[in-house]
């Protein structure tokens, strides 16, 4: 099916549409336009270049269409010729969507005019053609040639949707008993006509249920990889099996719309100026106010301290090697590329239970077979074998020639009797964060433990979202949940575009539907939660004054000039009185060692001087202070990737003490080992460490 879509709205502007019926505060036209506005907002938010719309009105005081030479097509106005949805032009058109003084104008003729402009625009190209009629179905409607028109609609694949104001709704058993006979007859004839067109008839009661629903962007399936999936050695044709496959995205994170910077101090051009300045296919009222980003690269001369600008092509990449920058040119980076070939290569198979569940939390892709029937049969056999044996396949994947290899897990997936593989990237050793957390407190009293277990079991049972008592409609499932941030932002964009001076309404119901547990289910769990709180002595943590530095700065409280001066000048006097630390002191080696490390170029000096201080303290037999200094030296050697240097130093230190180069003291050697100050092991380098908090 084509991605190009053409939609024409046919709107009834008769005098009768200005009346209110059945106790509504809105007129019939305002009620009908609520659906029209919802559909237009969706198209503007999606902003698809291949999505065009048109607006045709009938029962108008004026006539403007290409078939107006015939009297049957009078009082019909092509208000918005088919084109891309442009906000400023639509705003101008919507101001003309008001009830007119006449009741002249035929609905079937308006449908013919709409069909004519669709045929002229789409021609024989592949388009999804839609016609949406909003009408009250009052007045005279000529159905004399409706059957021939219906045949043309079906032949040209134009889908007709008719939304009728106060139409009878058998689905909800809504009927108007005192309905005008003419309107009742028109409803019956229109439903028969729409059925002949293979279209859809909706009442506005039904349409109201979908108003304000989620705005979903349909993504066209595009293969992100086409290549081979190999089992066995790729070069050995006799002992390997290769299949041609394609890879498509299955899950991807949808991000909120991004904003553009513009100069808001400049006034937006008036509506009339916009229409004169921009053509019907363009809409750029803020283009002159757009902010351009220009990036420049500046280098400061170390001798003259003068700054001068350099060209981007003269820059090279540099990487940190300790405290030194190692430059690597672009040509060298190309040489570093691995000699890899694109494709999947299955390494082996693992039981499903052996894969930790948190390894698979990433974007997923679906793999489908391509080629002849033999290729598809081999692929289907692989999927069925994995499913039957409850196993996953581990595969090495390279997306392009000389690309970086990644490790994937291939999971069997069967949908509608079709066999697929779903791949999820697995982490490498460097990607895993094996943090160590303290053990949870256990309840020693058996009676209390039994009460806690029983309370938690009751809580889980009462909060079962699949139970009949759960009020969620529809049921809680991933396909019924929507990301709050993108949809709330889309709502705000649409609202402020239409009503910039009005307050933003509350979030849509579909966004907040699952943001809090059901109250009636929580009420049943109150006793269980009280038991848990009582037995475990749960203390509610105090909320921080500010959640972050940003919220602290954005607290809204004004800051006086005196407070600003105090913040800017805070600590200046202390810094002036504070002596600059250049050497590690034997009196306070740990503190002076840390002060030198604050200098980004002081690592080498700090380590060398600390090593000498430790040796002198041992020589003076100040063992406690020597071990404290050695502990600080060992910790920062780990943090600064200087483990090899420390290991050489501590080995030489132990040798000097045992051989008498330093005062021989068996207590020193034993305390170095018992205090964990011996050589740094490899496991300590991969274990997460947290810097010491300063008292």
103 domain-assigned: yes
Judgement on whether residues 312 and 242 belong to the same structural domain of the protein: yes
Q: Is 28 domain-assigned?
A: yes
Q: Give a yes or no: residue 199 inside a domain.
A: yes
Continuous H helices in 133-229: 146-155, 181-196, 204-210
The model's pLDDT over 423-472, given as tens digits with 9 standing for 90+, comes to 999 999 888 887 877 776 677 778 888 888 888 899 999 888 888 888 77
Question: Crossing angle for the helix pair 643-659 and 623-639, nearest 10 degrees?
Answer: 160
Separation CA 596–CA 585 (nearest Å):
11
Does residue 552 form part of some domain?
Answer: no
Residues 344, 224 within the same domain: yes
Inform me whether the pLDDT recorded for 534 exceeds 50: yes
User: Which has the minimum average pLDDT: 89-93, 134-138, 511-515?
Assistant: 511-515
Mean pLDDT for 167-185 is: 77
Q: What is the CATH number of the domain that holds 426?
A: 2.40.290.10
Q: Is the peptide bond before 375 cis (omega within 30 degrees of 0)?
A: no
Q: Is residue 172 part of a domain?
A: yes
Secondary structure, 3-state, 587-602: CCHHHHHHHHHCCCCC
Predicted pLDDT at 695: 39
Determine the pLDDT at residue 158: 96
Which tens digit of pLDDT belongs to each residue from 543-585?
Answer: 655 554 444 444 445 555 665 565 555 544 544 445 567 788 8
Q: Could you tell me if residue 584 is inside a domain?
A: no
Does residue 69 share a domain with residue 158? yes
CA distance 317 to 328: 6
Nearest to 36 by CA among 50, 64, 57, 20: 57
CB distance 290 to 262 below 8 Å: yes
Residues 140 and 241 in one domain: no
Q: How many CB atoms lie within 10 A of CB 131?
A: 24
Q: Are both 470 and 597 inside the same structural domain?
A: no
474 Cβ contact list (under 8 Å, min separation 6) = 480
Asked whether residue 483 falls in the same domain as residue 527, the answer is no
CA distances from 495 to 45, 48, 265, 498, 505 (A): 11, 20, 22, 5, 8
Considering the domain architecture, whether residues 177 and 317 belong to the same structural domain is answered as: no
Q: How many domains does the chain have?
A: 5
Residue range 581-602, pLDDT digits in tens: 778 888 888 888 888 887 766 7
Residue 364, in any domain of the structure: yes
pLDDT, average across residues 407-428: 94
CB–CB of 339/392 below 8 Å? Answer: no
Share of the chain above pLDDT 70, in %: 85
Distance CA(193)–CA(143), nearest Å, equals 8
Same domain, 176 and 307: no
Tens of pLDDT, residue by residue over 668-682, are 888 888 888 888 887
Q: What's the helix, strand, coil split of the chain in %, to 5?
A: 40, 20, 40
Full-model pTM = 0.69
Contact between 79 and 93 (Cβ < 8 Å): yes
Degrees, nearest 5: CA angle 351-355-360: 130
Which of 370, 401, 433 terminates a domain? The answer is: 433
- Please give the residue range of the domain that contains residue 23: 5-212
Residues 169 and 228 in one domain: no
What's the average model confidence in pLDDT over 512-540?
82
Do 633 and 607 touch, CB atoms closer than 8 A?
yes
> Taking 90 as the threshold, does the pLDDT of residue 179 lie above it?
no
Q: What is the per-residue burial (b if ≥16 Cβ within 10 Å, else e) of 504-517?
A: eeeebeebebbeee
Residue with tokens 């279209």: 199
Are residues 67 and 160 both part of a single domain? yes
Residue 602 lies in a domain: yes
Nearest-angstrom CA–CA distance, 603 and 646: 13
23 and 169 together in one domain: yes
The CATH number that applies at residue 88 is 3.40.50.410
Q: State the first-to-last Cα distance of the chain, in angstroms, to the nearest integer.
A: 68
Nearest to 514 by CA among 486, 491, 480: 480
d(CA 584, CA 606): 7
Q: Are residues 57 and 94 in the same domain?
A: yes
Nearest to 494 by CA among 38, 92, 80: 38
């Amino acid at each position: 099916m084509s991605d190009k879509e053409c939609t024409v709205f046919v709107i009834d502007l008769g005098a009768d549409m200005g009346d209110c019926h059945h106790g509504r505060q809105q007129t019939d036209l305002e009620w009908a336009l609520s659906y029209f506005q919802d559909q237009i907002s969706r198209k503007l938010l999606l902003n698809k270049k291949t999505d065009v719309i048109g607006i045709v009105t009938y029962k108008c005081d004026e006539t403007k269409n290409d078939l107006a030479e015939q009297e049957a097509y009078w009082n019909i106005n092509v208000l918005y010729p088919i084109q891309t949805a442009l906000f400023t032009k639509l705003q101008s058109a919507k101001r003309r969507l008001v009830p007119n003084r006449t009741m002249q104008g035929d609905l079937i003729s308006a449908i013919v005019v709409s069909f004519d402009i669709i045929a002229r625009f789409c021609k024989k190209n592949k388009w999804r053609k839609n016609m949406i009629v909003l009408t009250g179905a009052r007045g005279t409607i000529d159905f004399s040639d409706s059957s021939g028109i219906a045949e043309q609609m079906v032949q040209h694949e134009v889908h007709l949707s008719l939304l009728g104001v106060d139409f009878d709704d058998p689905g909800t058993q809504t009927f108007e008993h005192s309905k005008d006979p003419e309107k009742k007859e028109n409803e019956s004839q229109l439903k028969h006509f729409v059925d002949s067109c293979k279209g859809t008839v909706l009442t506005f009661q039904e349409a109201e249920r979908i108003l304000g629903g989620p705005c979903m962007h349909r993504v066209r399936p595009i293969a992100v990889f086409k290549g081979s999936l190999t089992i066995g050695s790729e070069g050995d044709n006799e002992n390997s099996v290769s299949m041609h496959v394609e890879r498509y995205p299955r899950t991807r994170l949808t991000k909120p719309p991004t904003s553009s910077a513009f100069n808001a101090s400049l006034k937006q051009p008036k509506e009339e100026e916009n229409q004169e300045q921009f053509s019907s296919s363009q809409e750029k009222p803020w283009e002159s106010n757009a902010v351009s980003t220009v990036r420049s690269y500046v280098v400061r001369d170390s001798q003259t301290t003068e700054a001068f600008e350099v060209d981007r092509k003269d820059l090279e990449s540099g990487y940190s090697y300790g405290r030194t920058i190692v430059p690597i040119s672009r040509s060298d980076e190309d040489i570093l590329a691995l000699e890899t070939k694109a494709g999947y290569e299955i390494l082996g198979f693992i039981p499903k239970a052996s894969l930790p569940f948190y390894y698979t939390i990433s974007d997923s892709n679906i793999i489908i077979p391509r080629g002849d029937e033999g290729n598809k049969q081999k692929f289907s056999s692989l999927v069925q074998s994995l499913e039957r044996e409850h196993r996953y396949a581990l595969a090495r994947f390279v997306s392009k020639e000389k690309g970086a290899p990644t490790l994937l897990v291939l999971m069997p997936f069967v949908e509608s009797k079709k066999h697929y593989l779903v791949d999820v990237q697995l982490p490498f050793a460097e990607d895993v964060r094996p943090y160590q957390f303290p053990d949870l407190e256990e309840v020693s009293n058996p009676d209390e433990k039994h009460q806690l277990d029983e309370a938690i079991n009751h809580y889980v049972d009462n909060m079962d979202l699949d139970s009949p008592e759960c009020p969620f409609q529809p049921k809680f499932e991933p396909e019924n949940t929507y990301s709050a941030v993108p949809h709330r932002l889309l709502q705000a964009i649409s609202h402020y575009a239409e009503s910039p001076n009005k307050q933003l309404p509350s979030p849509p119901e579909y966004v907040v539907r699952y943001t809090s547990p059901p109250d009636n289910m929580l009420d049943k769990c109150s006793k269980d939660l009280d038991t848990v709180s009582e037995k475990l002595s749960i203390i509610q943590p105090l909320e921080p004054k500010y959640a972050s530095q940003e919220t602290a700065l954005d607290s809204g409280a004004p800051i006086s000039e005196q407070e600003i001066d105090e913040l800017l000048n805070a600590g200046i006097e202390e810094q002036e009185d504070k002596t600059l630390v250049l050497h590690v002191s034997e009196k306070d080696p740990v503190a002076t060692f840390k002060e030198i490390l604050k200098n980004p170029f002081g690592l080498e000096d700090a380590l060398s001087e600390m090593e000498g201080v430790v040796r002198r303290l041992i020589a003076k037999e100040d063992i406690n202070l020597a071990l404290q200094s050695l502990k600080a030296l060992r910790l920062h050697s780990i943090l600064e990737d200087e483990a090899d240097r420390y290991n050489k130093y501590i080995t030489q230190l132990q040798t000097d003490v045992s051989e008498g180069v330093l005062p021989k003291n068996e207590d020193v050697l034993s305390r170095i080992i018992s205090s964990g100050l011996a050589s740094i092991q490899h496991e300590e380098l991969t274990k997460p460490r947290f810097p010491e908090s300063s008292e």
